Structure 1
Amino acid sequence: MALTDLTLAECQTYRPELAVPSDLDDFWARTLGADEPGPAAYEPVDTGLTQIRTFSVTVPGYAGEPVHGWLHLPAYAEGPLPCVVEYLGYGRGRGLPHEKLFWAAAGFAHLIMDTRGQGWSAAPGLTPDPHPYPAGTVPGFLTRGVTHPDTFYYRRLVTDAVRFARAAREHPAVDADRVAVTGISQGGGLALAVAALFPGVAAAMPDVPFLCDFRRGVRVAGRGPYLEIAEYLKLHRDRADQVFRTLSYFDVAGLAPRATAPALFSVAMMDQVCPPSTCFAGYHRYGGEKELRVYEFNDHEGGEGHHQIEQLAWLRDRFGPGVAAGGGEDRAALSS
């Protein structure tokens, strides 16, 4: 596999002029303040595992619509716990309850958000996206409602993501001052958006983030969701300005200067889905303290397990070593 985008040296100086809407802050204030979210609900799930307790989660997302997820807690940990909120990659749902246990095994609370309308059919409790999409779409999610910011699919998804971060801070097992957001690809883009829009976040770990620098992504991506925009504009030749104006409200590189929490980014230099220049656009514009790990010879898989080790060490430096195993007397309080 060869480089398909800028070199590392070129990416390090790549700072595009983005079309940031003048009413960007007003749009998101109106969106996130449109309703008062109700409390999240947690139902214990018997996974057969003895060292991690799991709860099926329902959080009121956009317009109060129920969004599902999983909460994992170390079984005998003394709290309150630092928490990692995870958003998922494109087309991914919350999956089965035993599949993502890394952060809970490391002593953290771990809240995973299902992705409305996405996910695979065998997973229980999928979150629907019941909204109609005007003006047509192409297969996928990136053109759903793309003719106007108010109807765009990602308006709802970003709102869901903010609501999950808020729910994490409100859970009695969680230390509200130690909540981090993370995700790979689409999940990394959502983590960036939440860090920019929700000041309650204490750390962000966007991994090969999607939703950055849309115009360049559409032009240089070799595969993946950015190409949905190109396919849509092949059919609707007169809508390019309209589409890219909508996308400008959701370009997390445009939102990134509003973030203040420390962040650990990753970029893969042979990434054909989220071209490295687009990820660097988000990294360079990020408003908080930031670090970067570069995987020079990787495609969209990025650092995978190697990068998880980097994330754990980085987060422990900021949040402490997680929690030590404690007695069973605290279990009732932590599970409420």
Structure 2
Amino acid sequence: MALFDLPLGELREYRSTSAEPEDFDAFWAKTLQEAREHELGARFELVDTGLTTVKVYDVTFAGFGGHPVKGWLTLPTEVAAPLPVVVEFIGYGGGRGLPHTHLLWASSGRAHFVMDTRGQGSAWGGGGTPDPVGSAPAFPGFMTRGVEDPEGYYYRRLYTDAVRAVEAARAHPLTDPARTAAIGTSQGGGIAIAVGGLVPDLAAVAPDVPFLCDFPRATTLTDRDPYREIGKYLRTHRGRTGQVMRTLSYFDGVHLAARGRAPALFSTALEDETCPPSTVFAAFNAWAHDDKRIEVYDFNDHEGGGPHQEAVKLGWLPSYA
């Protein structure tokens, strides 16, 4: 795929036209307050993985609605004091998978918490967290589940789970809450942006080729799923575009980025048709903290920087967590 989006110079200046709801902050304050009415109840059960350089804990905590959410916490075997903790969120359709697939961050001397994604984990990776909440008719996938009402939208539950995952990661005695970073790729990157906007005291945020940003542009620019799920839904449910876009505005990474209070490292790829670069730059340009940078991979699609971006993060993160 050749370049299809705005030229790089225009991307660096691009701003989204997404309209922020007047009650955006009140909506999220109410959502998180309701979630915290349930005890977090984070449980850490040591798992025998056969690995000798790390310890792995099977984690369960209460997410949205008090629903149980799973995760893995991986620590270096020898820990003398609380460690910086990297909280990672998973890409679309995936789950937490198996512990031995998550060794990078523990190998760098940090704690690593990977959150399972409710209702997902059957396309790759394997998940163990159901989503017990039903929805109105939806197009196959997750993008349109409850999409005509912000209160019932799927990503309200998932973003809330993610905030609670940070709280669960910080609850372990061998993690340092003051040195907490949120990371993720694609959907995981979009969730990391959301967490960066909803958790005020993170040390760093690193979203790679993030999804869930600038819905007005994304849904009309690309015909790839998952964004295309929204168009396919509206093709059947005619006349509901305004209501759907209003719901999505509560979950748009652009508005959450405007509340980002931590240093941030973004990445994008100029041939990415899944998460077009203009939508990523929309969130990056809105990010509120002055200490921010974006890595641009000019001839890559949605794989973005891949292991090269991991190397960049390994060099960047020690300044913060």
What TM-score do you get using the length of structure 1 for normalisation?
0.92
* Alignment partner, residue 292 of structure 2: 290
The correspondence of residues 53-92 of structure 1 with structure 2, limited to 5 A, is 53-92=55-94
1:133 deviation in Å? 0.6
1:18 deviation in Å? 2.0
For 2:316 and 2:127, how far apart are their aligned partners in 1?
33
How many pairs were matched up?
Answer: 318
Q: Structure 1's 147 and 124: CA in aligned 2 closer, same or farther, altered over 3 A?
A: closer
For 1:253 and 1:302, how far apart are their aligned partners in 2?
20
Identity %: 53
- Do the aligned residues in 2 keep the contact of 1:166 with 1:200 (CA within 8 Å)? no
- Do the aligned residues in 1 keep the contact of 2:201 with 2:261 (CA within 8 Å)? no
SS at match of 1:98: helix
SS at match of 2:130: coil
| Worse-superposed segment, 177-186 or 161-170 | 161-170
The question of 1:130 aligning with 2:137 is answered no
SS at match of 1:258: coil
Q: Structure 1's 291 and 125: CA in aligned 2 closer, same or farther, altered over 3 A?
A: closer
* Alignment partner, residue 13 of structure 2: 13
The correspondence of residues 174-189 of structure 1 with structure 2, limited to 5 A, is 174-189=175-190
What TM-score do you get using the length of structure 2 for normalisation?
0.97
For 1:125 and 1:240, how far apart are their aligned partners in 2?
32
SS at match of 1:14: coil
For 1:124 and 1:221, how far apart are their aligned partners in 2?
28
5+ long unaligned stretches in structure 1: 320-336
The question of 1:270 aligning with 2:271 is answered yes
The question of 1:244 aligning with 2:245 is answered yes
The correspondence of residues 249-264 of structure 1 with structure 2, limited to 5 A, is 249-264=250-265
1:124 deviation in Å? 6.8
Q: Structure 1's 125 and 309: CA in aligned 2 closer, same or farther, altered over 3 A?
A: closer
- Do the aligned residues in 1 keep the contact of 2:187 with 2:212 (CA within 8 Å)? yes
Could you give the per-residue CA deviations for residues 263-290 of structure 1, whole angstroms, max 9, x where no partner exists?
0000111001000000000000001121
For 1:248 and 1:279, how far apart are their aligned partners in 2?
16
* Alignment partner, residue 326 of structure 1: none
SS at match of 2:157: helix
* Alignment partner, residue 154 of structure 2: 153
For 1:202 and 1:125, how far apart are their aligned partners in 2?
28
* Alignment partner, residue 328 of structure 1: none
Q: Structure 1's 45 and 259: CA in aligned 2 closer, same or farther, altered over 3 A?
A: same
Q: Structure 1's 195 and 122: CA in aligned 2 closer, same or farther, altered over 3 A?
A: closer
- The correspondence for 1:107, drawn from 106, 109, 114, is 109
SS at match of 1:265: strand
Moved over 4 A (4+): 121-125
Q: Structure 1's 30 and 100: CA in aligned 2 closer, same or farther, altered over 3 A?
A: same
- Do the aligned residues in 1 keep the contact of 2:270 with 2:300 (CA within 8 Å)? yes
* Alignment partner, residue 215 of structure 2: 214
For 1:87 and 1:124, how far apart are their aligned partners in 2?
14
For 1:243 and 1:306, how far apart are their aligned partners in 2?
37
1:100 deviation in Å? 1.2
* Alignment partner, residue 25 of structure 2: 25
* Alignment partner, residue 323 of structure 1: none
1:168 deviation in Å? 1.6
* Alignment partner, residue 43 of structure 2: 41
- Do the aligned residues in 2 keep the contact of 1:165 with 1:201 (CA within 8 Å)? no
5+ long unaligned stretches in structure 2: none
Q: Structure 1's 156 and 242: CA in aligned 2 closer, same or farther, altered over 3 A?
A: same
